[in-house]
Structure 1
Amino acid sequence: MAEAGESSGSRADHVDVLLSRLNLADEEEEGFVWEEEVEDPSVKAQWLAIAKVHTSRGFNPSAIYADMRSAWNPAKDVAWRKIEENLFPIQFSCLGDWNKATTQGPWFFRNQALLMEEYDGLQNPR
């Protein structure tokens, strides 16, 4: 097996050499997560939407959160995050709240349109 400093040998060989140099006690080894044990999360984000306020005027994001909470009257928590001045991903905690917010519009914030669309959480929100 090649030493870590040598140029010959595969990358896996180098990793094996480095791992063999570790002196982990049993209690330390239990907390170590090996790559083979980690599963790729295949869970798709549920009840996620992207919202854009069509205004050039500045506003406090907590004002839109409060106005939409009042308009939607959600049964469960709704989490907002600000991406840029007028763009927000919104995570709903239940399907009923998500359906109401995404299908029962149009919604307005300070007489400006609030456009909403289903969002998968992976695509560029812009």
Structure 2
Amino acid sequence: METGGSSRNARGKEEEDVDSLLQRLALHEDDGDDFVWEEEVDRMDVQAKWLAIARVHTDKGFNPSALYADMRSAWNPAKEVRWRQIEDNLFTVQFGCLADWNSAMANGPWLFRNHALIIQEYDLRTLDRSH
């Protein structure tokens, strides 16, 4: 249950809002003179290199960890591959280097438990997944 002054972030951890944090600091009126307060913080445009979107074509449930392990074995990447689940059968896959990305993109088709794993280049600037 959420309390006033806190919320949960994407990882489920509780985060306090700015007002609650400032109250806990117990600042005096003169203490705030050295701070610069801005309402909106510009979000840095993070470039996602070697990113793909992948879908497992199955109606059956599966453990995503099993998918990650099977693809790690099939791809044998030199660097870390980071998976992020978007929906039940839909994932983003970020490769640690261009050679691993090229190998996964070019050496398919890929199967996971006899079901197709479709993998496509994913460019955050040109694709939008808004509902």
The TM-score, its normalising length taken from structure 2, stands at 0.66
Give the distance between the partners of 2:112 and 2:122, measured in 1 at CA: 20
Counterpart pick for 1:87 among 84, 87, 90: 90
Give the distance between the partners of 2:130 and 2:71, measured in 1 at CA: 20
In our comparison, the structure showing a higher alpha carbon Rg is: 1
Runs of at least 5 residues in structure 2 that lack an aligned partner in the other structure: 1-28
Q: Name the structure 1 match of 2:60.
A: 57
How do 1:1-126 and structure 2 match up within 5 A?
24-26=32-34, 29=35, 32=36, 34=38, 41-121=44-124, 123-124=128-129
Give the distance between the partners of 2:107 and 2:33, measured in 1 at CA: 59
Give the distance between the partners of 1:35 and 1:84, measured in 2 at CA: 33
Amino acid paired to 1:45: A
Q: Secondary structure at the match of 2:85?
A: coil
Q: 1:123 to 1:63 in 2, by over 3 A?
A: same
Cα displacement (A) at 1:25: 3.5
Q: 1:125 to 1:100 in 2, by over 3 A?
A: farther
The TM-score, its normalising length taken from structure 1, stands at 0.68
Q: Secondary structure at the match of 1:81?
A: strand
Flag the structure with higher helix content. 1
Q: Secondary structure at the match of 1:108?
A: strand
Q: Secondary structure at the match of 1:82?
A: strand
Deviations 1:59-95 (A, max 9, x none): 1000000000000001111110111111000111111
Amino acid paired to 1:78: V
Q: Name the structure 1 match of 2:4.
A: none
Name which of structure 1's ranges 41-50 and 92-101 shifts more when overlaid on structure 2. 41-50
Flag the structure with higher strand content. 2
Runs of at least 5 residues in structure 1 that lack an aligned partner in the other structure: 1-21
Deviations 1:21-58 (A, max 9, x none): x85243xx2xx46579x666344311100000001111
Q: 1:114 to 1:125 in 2, by over 3 A?
A: farther
Aligned residues: 100
Q: Secondary structure at the match of 1:99?
A: helix
Cα displacement (A) at 1:123: 1.8
Give the distance between the partners of 1:42 and 1:88, measured in 2 at CA: 21
C-alpha RMSD of the superposition? 2.5
